A and B are shown apart, each in its own frame.
Chain A
Amino acid sequence: MPDFVCPYVWKKVETGGGKLSFINLKDKVVQVKIVYYGPGRCGKTTNLEYINRKFRDQIQSEMVSLKTHGDRTLFFDFLPFDLGQIKGYEIKIQLYTVPGQVRYNSTRKLVLKGVDGIVFVADVMEKQREKNIRSLNQLHENLQSYKESIFKIPLIMQYNKVDLKEYGIPVLPTFVLQQDLNSRLQVPYFEASAITGYNVVATLKKIISSTVVSIQKKLL
């Protein structure tokens, strides 16, 4: 973050695609909203649960989950934590998931409001191929409704459930996923397994750094 010599307390900062973030210049706090997006049962909540377990000592507050009795996300999961300071600014990361089920698009849209960075979690199971593509297309449309662009917002691809290969379950090779989902976007991607934790933290670190850099650029 640059050193501000600014009389203002709250500054709304453009971070691309018309997105505006809030920086509190009085308390020196930056709130960063990162949303995990993807089709139903792809592992968005599992990502957050792993992060919550792994960093339990550093996360002061409880993870909030709004789910159905069947353990499906109904509205969102929310996990806030402090990243520490960058150039004197306290960075507050707020992780959200959206509900993946098709019929919940109106709530997915609500969660996307004011988003700073997105992790798109794709399910590598062969039979989910179509759903991944449909979900990504809908993300594109949902962002447009907030005058955001999927091509401008910090975005990371996560190809989740790679561990299923070992159990003989047919999975899509990474080059196919790249072709399907990332040929135009060209964003960083990770093969991952949210259930075992493989590359969950790597994904998180990458989206945080991309998002913070994007906010920083707009401030400089």
Chain B
Amino acid sequence: MNYGIVSQEQLEQIEDILYQKLVKFGVDSVIIIDMAGNVITVKDNGKNKYNIYSFAALAAGNFATVDAMAKLVGETEFSLLFHKGQDSNIHFSKIDDELLLISMFGKDISLGFLRLNVVEAIEQIRKVWARQG
């Protein structure tokens, strides 16, 4: 998937998908990053106070490490990457070989519900990306 150039309109559509599918249902924050640790876009409920650039660098490293571990044990990938905390949880999902979608959510949402919505959001995002020139 070529994601090199994304128009303002496409980015707004992607942000809208993130809002409609995830933030609206109570996900605190959704970030799309690339595998090098760059932040592509962020959508949140306005309450996040952490440094997203440090977060993106660590998240890219974390994902790459888990991916490399999967390959070591003969898996193509571990499809579920999820960290559970007392108050907040982080879920990672691959959009394509270069992009990651990371959702941060609290106790009010179940993992299953989140995963369903993430899958739908990613399908829609891929369609938007596929339309680029």
A7 to B10, CA, bound (A): 11
Q: Is B38 in contact with A22, judged by CB distance below 8 angstroms?
A: yes
Q: Is A43's beta carbon under 8 Å from chain B? A: no
Query: Is A78 an interface residue, CB under 8 A from the partner?
Result: yes
**Interface, chain A (partner B; CB < 8 A):** 7-12, 20, 22, 25-26, 31, 33, 60-62, 64, 66, 75-76, 78, 80, 92, 94, 96, 106-107, 110-111, 113-115
B133 to chain A, nearest CB (A): 9
Cross-interface CB contact of B37 among A10, A12, A114, cutoff 8 Å: A114
B11 near A9 with CB under 8 A, answer yes
**1/0 per residue B60-86: CB within 8 Å of A?**
110011001000000000000000000
Report if B111 contacts A (CB, 8 A). Answer: no
Complex CA gap A106/B36 in Å reads: 15
| Among B1-9, B19-27, B88-96, the stretch in contact with A | B1-9
From B4, B8, B38, A31 is in contact (CB under 8 Å) with B38
B7 contacts A106, C-beta separation under 8 Å? no
B51 touches A78 (CB 8 A): no
Given the known A-B contacts A75-B61, A113-B64, are A80 and B53 also in contact in the complex, defined by CB atoms under 8 Å? Answer: yes
